[in-house]
């Protein structure tokens, strides 16, 4: 059972009275890179919060490395959706990242030598050692995203949950973030759940796809899940999947759902 990094057993998740996911069963192996997709409101964030133990399933059971998570999990790395308020913050990036190092413990946030080394390590991994000396509010979205990723990597977690890290980024910044996460996953064997709107930036990095929609979910390789038949069921409307070179284009009869008209360098 604990051979799985994440196990969803007939899980039903609700936001208030609204059921976002109903009776979902899936398992994710340790070291897998899973892209999580689906339309807005499909339950991507709610699923990540259930894995963190912040949202309790209305039915079924979530297990993370064999344990039922409750009230947050210090062992998981989490990158939440970027808040607009970061733009007002005049503190430098390094202090921002440092605040998360054992931030759950009481006491004074004095960084010892060991803490400084860990902060240096994660900043090096995300290639943001120089950026971290500048105030957070002056950094671009992609630069802020790298610091959020550094925060998520503190303490070398076994599980990395990334919530929409590509939103609002230019294509080359998107590629840089995906390449960074992919490198971390290869080097450390960490399990990655990466939610996104577009498939294409993640095509070369993902092992499998978890597609959410209409309260249901499908998990499998890109070839198994990203098909007209499966996506039509998830979107509840007729969907076609076209492949143009390296790029997957998902179109509904009403127009393009997934217009990732860019080339991905795998």
Partner 1 sequence: MLEYEFMRNAFVAGGIVAIVCGTTGVFLVLRQLAFAGHALSHIGFAGAAGSALLGIAPLWGLVAFTLAAAIAMGLLGERMRGRDVAIGIVLSLALGLGVLFLYLYTSHATQATTILFGNVLGVSRETVWALAGMSVISVGALAFISRPLLFATLAPELAEAKGVSMRLVAVLFLAIVAVAVAEAAQVVGVLLVFSLMVAPAATALRLTSRAGFAVALAVSLALLETWAGIATAYVTNLPPSFWIVLLGCAGYLFALLYCWARDAGGWTQGASSGPVDRRASRATGCASVIR
- Residues near partner 1 (CB under 8 A) are 49, 52, 54, 71-74, 76, 78-81, 83, 85, 88-92, 95-96, 99-100, 102-109, 133-135, 137-138, 151-152
**Helix H or strand E segment including 216:** strand 216-220
Provide the pairing of β-strand 6-15 with 59-64: antiparallel
Residue 221 C-beta: closest distance to partner 1, Å: 29
DSSP code of 67? B
Q: What are residue 113's phi and psi, to 5 degrees?
A: -65, -40
Residue closer to partner 1 (CB basis): 95 or 240: 95
Which CB atom, from 77 or from 215, has the smaller least distance to partner 1? 77
Torsion angles phi and psi, residue 58, rounded to 5:
-70, -30
Q: How far is the CB of 253 from partner 1 (least distance, A)?
A: 37
CA angle 43, 152, 132 (to 5 degrees): 130
| Nearest to partner 1 of 17, 90 (CB atom) | 90
Minimum distance between the CB of residue 28 and partner 1, rounded to whole angstroms? 18
Nearest to residue 109, comparing CAs of 93, 128, 95? Answer: 95
Query: What's the closest the beta carbon of residue 1 comes to partner 1, in angstroms?
Result: 24
Q: Which of residues 102 and 208 has its CB atom nearest to partner 1 in the complex?
A: 102
């Amino acid at each position: 059972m604990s051979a799985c990094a994440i196990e969803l057993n007939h899980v039903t998740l609700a936001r208030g009275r609204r059921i976002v996911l109903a009776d979902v069963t899936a398992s994710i192996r340790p070291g897998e890179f899973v892209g999580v997709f689906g339309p807005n409101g499909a339950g991507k964030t709610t699923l990540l919060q259930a894995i963190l133990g912040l949202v309790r399933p209305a039915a079924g059971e979530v297990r993370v490395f064999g344990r039922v998570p409750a009230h947050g999990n210090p062992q998981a790395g989490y990158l939440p959706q970027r808040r607009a308020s970061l733009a007002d913050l005049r503190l430098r990036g390094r202090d921002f990242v440092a605040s998360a190092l054992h931030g759950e413990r009481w006491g004074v946030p004095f960084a010892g030598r060991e803490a400084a080394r860990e902060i240096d390590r994660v900043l090096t991994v995300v290639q943001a050692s120089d950026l971290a000396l500048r105030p957070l509010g002056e950094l671009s979205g992609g630069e802020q995203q790298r610091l959020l990723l550094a925060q998520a990597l503190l303490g070398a977690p076994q599980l990395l949950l990334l919530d929409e890290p590509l939103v609002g980024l230019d294509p080359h910044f998107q590629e840089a973030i995906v390449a960074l996460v992919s490198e971390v996953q290869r080097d450390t064997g960490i399990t990655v759940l990466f939610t996104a709107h577009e498939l294409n930036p993640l095509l070369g990095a993902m092992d499998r796809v978890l597609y959410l929609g209409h309260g249901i979910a499908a998990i499998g390789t890109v070839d198994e899940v990203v098909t007209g038949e499966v996506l039509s069921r998830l979107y509840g409307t007729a969907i076609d999947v076209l492949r143009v070179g390296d790029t997957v284009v998902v179109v509904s009869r009403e127009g393009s759902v997934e217009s990732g008209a860019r080339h991905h360098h795998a």
